[in-house]
Structure 1
């Protein structure tokens, strides 16, 4: 057996099918992240979504406009049994049924930093680094025979099935947490949280920590997305262990963006963000975090944001939030479920990362087996 070089565009079948639905919301539109996965809700949608494109099952969608900017080919394969809807700027296509390149094998090949750098090398000289469709189609790949492709695709699918099974259990646990919250809201009155939380404004200083973080829309601390000079962090705000930081704007983020420091180390965040602690004799930060994680609270925060280009949800708005505050032992039992959920979520993300890292190894193994 030997490797065969193919021009991939010969086996693409483009699709440009409009959804013809003018009023889709963010939750009904998918984006594509740098991990090559669809994500919902999309960060933003246009006023008229009728021209948005449908991505049927087993079709690819990719954004060829940002390859140079991100040094990544943002592409995803619709593994589900339902249509996805994406921006009209995306390109939608499938691998032809009689192709010598399996759909899933092609997708595995794309999930490597080396392949992304190759796509980046082939972008044009525009500001964003576009990759024209004809350039993408003209790329040639060496692939093994279908029998070897199928062998390694089966390994990949088995790993994906295990991860998705774990993820379903994760979502079931989240439903249980949400059900407890709903039960409490029905059984007891709500109180303003202002009397249980204290605003903090501790600055990092000259000799403070270098542990600078941003706050993501997934409601977690993350590495800063913009360049930060770690020698100039004196004015940054300190989030001590078991304290919470939040972003005051909701327009761009579309959610209440916050993070709970559940580590043993100080974290510093931008001085424009807010930081507070809880009176843990009355209100546990894990329990409060469960409310902040709910989509209902995201809608509440956006509705109560006040008029500016960024829609601001400030400290004065936060202290007026009302939630049921049960006995601390009840909170602790619910918080234990929340902690288990966070731990399982972390494990799930690790599984996804490991699968992505294994993809280049699978491709390398298939090519070496063919050469033998």
Structure 2
């Protein structure tokens, strides 16, 4: 047979291997089916209670499948192991003579399978896709020869993307080394005298573009449209906006520099601008984007129902401020890094979008051989 239908349960085996080797790299998976460092606080945790994830091992979470319309699953492909929460299910392919791990993963990079997971998820608040329901899903598996052909295409694209990503890491090292040297050679100053809060309201309703800011420090379409657009805050080109509520367990302050047409943001956001010609907005954004800055903001946030870091606290941040020529050279490197990072994200999306085409092609090839 060139094409065989299997239940997922017949192709995989769960592997509950605890962290007996003392790995301290805590990871999770996101809705893009990627591994990422955990956002949870890990200080004081016993890493030996966490699950070990080795190369070619899968991580699965059935939580919120219905809400996000996404099956949270990822294949770990690096040589150095990491650890994940015990709440995740970890598993491997039983027999790689039947199905290749990459081919199995490619199946779940399709919108079709995400929609199926959404359909099969329960009606609870968390909209879970329970493990027993997940492993009961049917998948069509072509011959190993056909799988290898399409996996080779996928791996080729992935290799090119990873090569591009390594170049990004090198670029990041350059500007990080540059600013670390500045911190050692130039005394840091409070940024308060260089910035000023802006309280412009959209009272004339001339601006219709409604935006928000995510934890990746970029403007995004607002999740909710403000009912009273006249009460929203205007953000103009080269002005900053931020949500003073610290996110991701105190590790992320959603803040971004506006580049492009004017927009409006919720009145809960704060907007400010640089008012001193000795500071470049782009250079300031570089410092505000650093993870250590975000950790500082989280640590010094005002504790309440929600941890907030208002403009008054932001003004107390200290950074080295060199002459404008040095600022511009560093900001230019950072700008190139950001642009290339955006390209890298687009490359990853393209690979994900091509996977359904590859899976469909492999199934159709198997069917055509059967009909011949």
| TM-score normalized by the length of structure 1 | 0.92
C-alpha distance in 2 between matches for 1:23 and 1:5: 38
Match of 1:9 in 2: 9
SS in 2 for 1:364: helix
TM-superposed CA distance for 1:108, in Å, is 0.6
Quick one: which of 296, 302, 305 aligns to 1:300?
296
Q: Quickly say closer, same or farther: Cα 1:143–1:65, change in 2 above 3 A.
A: same
Gaps of 5+ in 2: none
Match of 1:326 in 2: 322
Deviations 1:17-64 (A, max 9, x none): 33379997xxx4222111110111324559745533222221111111
- Give matches, 1:85-96, under 5 Å: 85-96=83-94
Moved more, 290-299 or 303-312: 303-312
1:107 aligns with 2:105: yes
Quick one: which of 259, 263, 277 aligns to 1:262?
259
TM-superposed CA distance for 1:124, in Å, is 2.2
Q: Contact 1:244/1:258 (CA < 8 Å) preserved in 2?
A: yes
| TM-score normalized by the length of structure 2 | 0.92
Q: Contact 1:245/1:259 (CA < 8 Å) preserved in 2?
A: yes
C-alpha distance in 2 between matches for 1:152 and 1:220: 35
C-alpha distance in 2 between matches for 1:316 and 1:22: 42
Quick one: which of 76, 79, 94 aligns to 1:78?
76
Quick one: which of 362, 365, 371 aligns to 1:366?
362
SS in 2 for 1:75: strand
Q: Quickly say closer, same or farther: Cα 1:162–1:98, change in 2 above 3 A.
A: closer
Deviations 1:168-206 (A, max 9, x none): 111111111111111111122222111111111112235
RMSD over equivalenced CA pairs, Å = 2.2
1:29 aligns with 2:26: yes
- Give matches, 1:308-347, under 5 Å: 308-347=304-343
Q: Quickly say closer, same or farther: Cα 1:342–1:280, change in 2 above 3 A.
A: farther
Moved more, 253-262 or 37-46: 37-46
SS in 2 for 1:138: coil
Gaps of 5+ in 1: none
C-alpha distance in 2 between matches for 1:366 and 1:177: 44
Q: Quickly say closer, same or farther: Cα 1:284–1:83, change in 2 above 3 A.
A: same
SS in 1 for 2:302: coil
Q: Contact 1:59/1:92 (CA < 8 Å) preserved in 2?
A: yes
Q: Quickly say closer, same or farther: Cα 1:124–1:146, change in 2 above 3 A.
A: same
Match of 2:147 in 1: 149
SS in 2 for 1:214: strand
Moved more, 332-341 or 98-107: 98-107
